[in-house]
Amino acid sequence: MTTDQAIEFEHEHCAHNYHPLPVVIHEAHGAWVTDVEGRRYLDMLSAYSAINFGHGHPKLVAAAQEQLGLVTLTSRAFHNDRLGRFCADLARLTRHDAVLPMNSGAEGVETALKLSRKWGYEVKGVPVDQAEIIVCAGNFHGRTTTIVSFSDDPVAHDHYGPYTPGFVTVPYGDIDALAAAITPNTVAFLVEPIQGEAGVVLPPTGFLQAVRELCTERNVLFVADEIQAGLGRAGATFACDLVGVQPDVRILGKALGGGIVALSAVTANWDVLGVIQPGQHGSTFGGNPLAAAIGIAVIELLETGEVQERSRRLGEHALQVLRDAALPGIKEIRGSGLWWAIELDGTGRTGREVSLELLARGILAKDTHTWTIRFAPPLVVEESDLDHALATIIDVLTTPDATSDDY
């Protein structure tokens, strides 16, 4: 099958809820993917950070293969011998008492929202159906009806009403606005420690520490959505670790399933997670032994700290190289770990146009919000491959008239 045939086939029978770049991937190993025509590309997106350990990591594939030969799904009607170990390992990694396993990231966020409300009614004593949850402008937490209810991105939000009530939005990084928005009915503050989809937006210095203090003082749960920022991506096990902050509730997903299965989790201490009793929440696939076995192997990869250190070191190097290049037409270059964004100044090519040029040069990256290109190579990327990618990015951004009209 050629690239054009595959794209046409998909276009005809698959809903148009995405606008992919015109490359059809057939195979991938480590940081490299190969398309149906045999062309190779360096993956600088990592499936939005779900591929932190590279494509087909041997240890993760081995864990999956071993479990495939044993048992893949039991449902939670019975126990399986992988789930307990997975939860114990993840609890240790997150320094929380316990774990509630789910599948997609959005399900993890929904779980955290339900948990926060239930904690609010049963522990904090908020009057029933009055709970408020504070969220940030520019947030991205997934695509369910409730989650898009508090998205301020019209593309994600519009025409999906009526919307779920009970959410209040404050500007990202504004501690005074957060303090002013808290009422006796506030049960949680839901925040990305670094906003991913918004374009790798870092909070102002001291913000997350101030959030921690404020939430403790006002008896509000600090819920950190680390689905994209966590598990090594930002240069530490969790982005909150970068500033020495421990949230009350942490949401993980994406890389937790090693890029092999959908696996998400909510972690917290028993004083919070203990409010959920049998039958009150669940999922048929949540906590399945295949995902749990892969999750155990993912956590094992993180426990030496090597991957995180690599992310931090190579990320600093990448930012330095890009900043030193003094690129024209750039509004800002920002990032943390092997996760950075180049925001164009809006006078020239769009993020998609640049992404298409990078594609033609063998680099996979994707635009976000028209003028920003986000980069997130697998954390196992070879330093020489990363340098090659940086040189290509610099070359594309310094060559003004290279817009390719081929696509």
Query: Which residue, 224 or 390, has its beta carbon nearer to ligand PLP?
Result: 224
Query: Which residue, 115 or 126, has its beta carbon nearer to ligand PLP?
Result: 115
Q: Is 370 exposed, middle or buried (0-12, 13-18, 19+ CB in 10 A)?
A: exposed
Q: In the 8-state DSSP scheme, what is residue 243? A: G
Minimum CB separation of residue 144 from ligand PLP in Å reads: 8
* String of DSSP letters for 60-89: HHHHHHHHHTT-S---TTS--TTHHHHHHH
Decide if 197 contacts 331 (C-beta within 8 A). Answer: no
Interface residues with ligand PLP (CB under 6 A)? Answer: 48, 104-106, 109, 140-142, 192, 196-197, 225, 227-228, 253-254
Minimum CB separation of residue 193 from ligand PLP in Å reads: 9
Q: Using CA atoms, how far apart are residues 271 and 284, in angstroms rounded to an integer?
A: 25
* Beta strands 221-225; 186-191: pairing state: parallel
Query: Which residue among the candidates 254, 285, 366, 375 is catalytic per the annotation?
Result: 254
Minimum CB separation of residue 198 from ligand PLP in Å reads: 9
Q: Using CA atoms, how far apart are residues 308 and 310, in angstroms rounded to an integer?
A: 5
Phi first, then psi: what are they for 221, rounded to 5°? Answer: -75, 130
Q: Using CA atoms, how far apart are residues 101 and 163, in angstroms rounded to an integer?
A: 26
Query: Which residue among the candidates 35, 53, 89, 140 is catalytic per the annotation?
Result: 140
Query: Which residue, 82 or 250, has its beta carbon nearer to ligand PLP?
Result: 250
CA atoms within 13 A on the CB side of 240: 24
Q: Using CA atoms, how far apart are residues 207 and 175, in angstroms rounded to an integer?
A: 7
Query: Which residue, 32 or 140, has its beta carbon nearer to ligand PLP?
Result: 140
Q: Which residue has the tokens 């994209």?
A: 228
Query: Which residue, 47 or 360, has its beta carbon nearer to ligand PLP?
Result: 47
Minimum CB separation of residue 292 from ligand PLP in Å reads: 17
* Beta strands 372-375; 366-368: pairing state: antiparallel
Minimum CB separation of residue 142 from ligand PLP in Å reads: 4
Q: Is 241 a catalytic residue?
A: no
Q: Is 35 a catalytic residue?
A: no
Query: Which residue among the candidates 35, 225, 248, 367 is catalytic per the annotation?
Result: 225
Sorted by sequence, the CB contacts under 8 Å of residue 105 that are 6+ apart come out as 141, 142, 227, 251, 253, 254, 264
Q: What is the distance, to the nearest Å, from the Cα of residue 109 to the centroid of all Cα atoms in its chain?
A: 12
Q: Is 248 a catalytic residue?
A: no
Query: Which residue, 54 or 142, has its beta carbon nearer to ligand PLP?
Result: 142
Minimum CB separation of residue 308 from ligand PLP in Å reads: 18
Which are the catalytic amino acids? Answer: 140, 225, 254
